[in-house]
């Protein structure tokens, strides 16, 4: 079910507002969901097995970035070094190291490829550490914002998501220029909630997307501005109205006793919108997991329910990015059945590419 609606947001700080835009408003319908077995999603997949080495074990729930010569794999908000693999999955080295020495980072909050300079930029305590794709340290940029995620747009602006951090008033997003200067503030909302660590920025081809897991509005960053793209509707799964008036454990308790939808991942390219959605049902211990895939060309939708009995280590629960050639990349173990309960300690996960085009044929 779709309809055109005009959504306008005005944030009263300088001239930093989300541009008004005519958008599609999509309505999620869980009753139309098909099972993974009924879909064609996993019938044709490309698997890149990551080579095993005692020194290159990949953490669970890691993230991947595609670079010219292979894959960069890191664990967000961790104290593990960043790993580099070839396109064939062979371990090729480290991107810097954890430590306190020159060119070393103490933790990894987020990693971004600067497409213009072909530099890998690592957000850590005290700033952004910059490396070549081969792992050679180049320089450090000083950053004073307590952000857990960031991105760089095509104009070399930096976007830092600070979330609900009262240090910066009610702004949840900070934009700077490439010198980390000329600051602008976006997404103003008064909130008592604690800052959340999440993957806010979508790993896509040419599209730069942004979302919050506890917000049903989706955004793109275009021409140096933050634009509202879609307002998604989840009937009977609304977020609590007074969510931002609560704090700490009050938020967790309120969510646990609510029927609400959470958007874990938002990816978009020229052909598709992909959402990884969790539906929390009051009294249920484990949320329901769905893929919501929308063909923009055909104006058709496919909703796939991922069976809760599939191992949480499966690649199906760790979607990563959507490429320009319509492949959905995931990272995890090749488990799609319900009888796998554990994983081998000496086994690395794999990079799995799923073809979306076959879903609509």
pLDDT of residue 309: 85
pLDDT of residue 356: 95
Measure the N-to-C terminal CA separation of the chain; round to a whole number of Å. 20
Beta bridge partners of 301: 294
pLDDT of residue 43: 86
User: Which residue, among 352, 207, 349, has the nearest Cα to 274 in the 3D structure?
Assistant: 207
Token representation of residue 184: 């602008």
pLDDT of residue 85: 93
Assigned fold of 25-360: Neuraminidase (2.120.10)
Q: Which residues contact 325 (CB under 8 A, 6 or more apart)?
A: 205
Q: Which residues contact 151 (CB under 8 A, 6 or more apart)?
A: 112, 158, 159, 201, 208, 210, 221
Token representation of residue 315: 């690649």
Token representation of residue 103: 């060119």
Residue in the structure block whose two tokens are 């990551």: 50
User: Residues 124-176: pLDDT tens digits?
Assistant: 988 999 999 999 999 999 998 888 899 999 999 999 999 887 776 788 999 99
User: Residues of 33-58 as b/e, b for ≥16 C-beta within 10 angstroms?
Assistant: beeeeebebbeebeebebeeeeebbb
Question: Where does the pLDDT of residue 334 fall: very low under 50, low under 70, confident under 90, or very high at 90 and above?
Answer: confident
Token representation of residue 82: 């960043």
**Which residue would you say has higher pLDDT here, 278 or 170?**
278
Beta bridge partners of 151: 159
Rounded CA-CA distance 52/346 in Å is 7
**Is it the case that residue 349 has pLDDT exceeding 50?**
yes
Neighbours of 257 (CB within 10 A): 12
User: Which residue, among 328, 22, 27, has the nearest Cα to 202 in the 3D structure?
Assistant: 328
Beta bridge partners of 6: 22
User: Residues 20-77: pLDDT tens digits?
Assistant: 544 547 999 999 999 999 999 988 899 998 887 666 678 777 899 998 879 999 988 7
* Contact predicate 8/20, CB 8 Å: yes
Average pLDDT, the chain: 85
pLDDT of residue 186: 93
* Contact predicate 350/315, CB 8 Å: yes
**Is it the case that residue 10 has pLDDT exceeding 50?**
no
* Percent over 90 (pLDDT), the chain: 55
**Is it the case that residue 9 has pLDDT exceeding 80?**
no
Residue 264 CA from chain centroid, whole number: 7
**Which residue would you say has higher pLDDT here, 201 or 247?**
201
pLDDT of residue 54: 64
**Is it the case that residue 98 has pLDDT exceeding 50?**
yes
Token representation of residue 146: 């307590």
3-class SS shares of the chain: helix, strand, coil, % to 5: 5, 45, 50
Rounded CA-CA distance 150/176 in Å is 11
Q: Which of 111-120, 164-173, 272-281 has the lowest mean pLDDT?
A: 164-173
Question: Where does the pLDDT of residue 7 fall: very low under 50, low under 70, confident under 90, or very high at 90 and above?
Answer: very low
**Is it the case that residue 6 has pLDDT exceeding 50?**
no
Rounded CA-CA distance 213/234 in Å is 13
Question: Where does the pLDDT of residue 14 fall: very low under 50, low under 70, confident under 90, or very high at 90 and above?
Answer: very low
User: Residues 204-243: pLDDT tens digits?
Assistant: 767 899 999 999 999 999 999 999 999 999 999 988 888 8
Rounded CA-CA distance 181/173 in Å is 14
């Amino acid at each position: 079910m779709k309809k055109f609606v005009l959504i306008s947001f005005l944030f009263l700080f300088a001239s930093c507002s989300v541009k008004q835009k005519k958008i599609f408003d999509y309505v999620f319908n869980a009753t139309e969901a098909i099972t993974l077995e009924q879909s064609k999603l996993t019938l044709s997949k490309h698997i890149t097995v990551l080579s095993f080495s005692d020194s290159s074990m990949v953490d669970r729930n890691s993230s991947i970035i595609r670079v010219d010569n292979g894959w960069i794999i890191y664990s967000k908000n961790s104290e593990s070094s960043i790993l580099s693999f070839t396109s064939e999955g062979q371990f090729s080295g480290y991107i810097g190291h954890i430590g306190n020495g020159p060119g070393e980072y103490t933790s990894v909050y987020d990693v971004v490829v600067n497409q213009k300079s072909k530099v890998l930029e690592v957000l850590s305590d005290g700033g952004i550490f910059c490396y070549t794709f081969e792992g050679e340290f180049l320089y450090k940029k000083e950053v004073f914002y307590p952000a857990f995620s960031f991105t760089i747009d095509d104009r070399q602006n930096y976007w830092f998501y600070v979330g609900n951090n009262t240090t910066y008033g009610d702004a949840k997003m900070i934009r700077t220029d490439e010198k980390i200067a000329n600051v602008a503030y976006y997404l103003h909302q008064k909130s008592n909630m604690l800052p959340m660590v999440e993957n806010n920025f979508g790993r896509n081809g040419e599209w730069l997307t942004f979302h919050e897991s506890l917000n049903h509005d989706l955004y793109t960053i275009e021409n140096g501005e933050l634009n509202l793209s879609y307002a998604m509707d989840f009937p009977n799964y609304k977020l609590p109205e007074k969510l931002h008036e609560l704090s700490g454990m009050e938020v967790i308790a309120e969510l646990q006793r609510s029927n609400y939808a959470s958007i874990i991942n938002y990816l978009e390219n020229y052909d598709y919108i992909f959402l990884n959605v969790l539906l929390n049902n009051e009294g249920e211990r484990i949320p329901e997991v769905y893929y919501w895939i929308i063909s923009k060309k055909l104006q058709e939708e496919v909703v796939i329910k991922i069976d809760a009995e599939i191992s949480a280590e499966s690649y199906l629960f760790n979607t990563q990015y959507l490429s320009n050639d319509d492949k959905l990349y995931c990272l995890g173990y090749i488990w799609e059945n319900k009888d796998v309960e554990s994983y081998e300690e000496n086994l690395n996960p794999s990079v799995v590419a799923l073809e979306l085009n076959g879903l609509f044929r």
